[in-house]
Structure 1
Amino acid sequence: MDLTLQPVRVRTGSEDERGLLVFAGGALAAVLVCLSDAYGDEAGSWFLEAGFGPLASHQPAAFADLDAAQTWIARRLAAEPSPRPP
């Protein structure tokens, strides 16, 4: 699964504004947010702020790094059948 990441500022209402839009096949699949120093040991981890399609109902714990987040997203997307074109 080929994922494209686009940096974005996310209005989370906290210090955690550094985010990434995750596109799969040109469609928005997820929004990731990097956890701030306010999270102590989890600072620098990535959190699935929003997921779409097969990622919508699966909220895992924070990912240790961006590679772990991308791997989880790719596996979830690969497990779902491809959507039909409109």
Structure 2
Amino acid sequence: MSLRLQPVQVGTGSSDTESQLVFSDGFLVAVLVHLSDGHDDAGSWFLEAGFGPVDHPVPPTFADLDEAQVWIAQRLER
């Protein structure tokens, strides 16, 4: 399985607009948002939305995009 990221700007209603769409085999599986300076974990990536097995009741944050991709891939392999 390979993941493909596509940078986008998301209208979150806050200054957190830098985002990545995450695709697996052509399907959108997640939206990751880069957290701005107004957050305790600024610079981290937040799972704004996950679809199918990537959906999570308590969306996690990740130190970087590599960590996020590993987590997403693990969820998709289940």
The alignment yields a C-alpha RMSD, in angstroms, of: 1.1
Distance 1:59 1:25, change over 3 A: farther
TM-score (norm 1): 0.85
**Unpaired runs of 5+ in structure 1?**
80-86
Q: Which residue of 2 aligns with 1:74?
A: 73
1:82 maps to: none
Question: What 5-or-longer segments of structure 2 have no aligned partner?
Answer: none
CA distance, structure 1, for counterparts of residue 58 and residue 64 of structure 2: 16
Partners of 2:31 and 2:51 lie apart in 1 by 9
Distance (whole Å) between structure 1 residues aligned to residue 8 and residue 24 of structure 2: 16
Structure 1 residue 59: Cα displacement: 3.3
In the superposition, the TM-score normalised over structure 2's length comes to 0.93
Q: Distance in 2 between matches of 1:59 and 1:23?
A: 21
Q: Which has the higher helix share?
A: 1
Considering only CA atoms, is the larger Rg found in Structure 1 or Structure 2?
A: 1
User: What stretches of structure 1 move > 6 A for 4+ residues in a row?
Assistant: none
Asked whether the equivalents of residues 30 and 54 of structure 2 are also in contact (C-alpha less than 8 Å), the reply is: yes
Aligned length: 78
Look up the match of 1:47.
Answer: 46
> For 2:56 and 2:27, how far apart are their aligned partners in 1?
18
CA distance in 2 between counterparts of 1:36 and 1:76 reads 26
In the other structure, the counterpart of 2:64 is 65
